[in-house]
Amino acid sequence: MLVLDELHYSEEHIWVRREGDHTVTLGMTDYAQLELGDLNYIELPNEGDEIVYCEPFGSVECAKLVNDLYAPVCGKVLAVNRDVIENPILINRSPYSQGWVIRARLYSVDELDVLMSADDYEEYVLSKPL
C-alpha cells in the first residue's frame, strides 16, 4: 500500500492534494483501489457541480460491488478526469497521478485541517479495514 506524505486523507479513502490557494485535486487511495480490485466503471460529477462534505460525489464499480465516493471537503468542481471515465483502470494503475478523479475549488481551506496526514491514514487503515 502506497501512502504519499504530501497528501491529506479522508476516512472514506479519498486523498486530497492542495494545488493552490483554494484548489485541490481528489482521488481514490491506493489502499481503496487494492481492496476493491480492478475498476470497470466510474461515475463523476460535472464541471461546475458542487461537492458537499460527507456526501457522495460519484461512484466506482468493480467486479465485487458499486462503491460511493464521499467528498472530504466542500467546493465547486473545476475539472473532471475524462481519462478515468473512459478507462477506470487508470485508478488501479496510478491512483496518485493519472488516476486523479476531480479538481475542485474549496469554499474554505480550513477543511483540510480535519483530514488525516499520511501517518494517521496508515494507522487508520490498519485499525479499520475497508
Nearest to 14, CA basis, from 2, 1, 30: 30
Nearest to 117, CA basis, from 17, 27, 33, 7: 7
Rounded to two decimals, the pTM is: 0.94
Q: Work out how many domains the chain is built from and give that number.
A: 1
Examine residue 127 and state whether it is found in any structural domain, yes or no.
no
Of 54-58, 87-91, 114-118, 125-129, minimum mean pLDDT range: 125-129
Examine residue 18 and state whether it is found in any structural domain, yes or no.
yes
Examine residue 12 and state whether it is found in any structural domain, yes or no.
yes
Give tens-digit pLDDT for 2-21. 999 999 999 999 999 999 88
Q: Which domain holds residue 31?
A: 8-122
The values of phi and psi at residue 4, to 5°, are: -95, 135
CA 20 to chain centre: 17
CATH of the domain at 112: 2.40.50.100
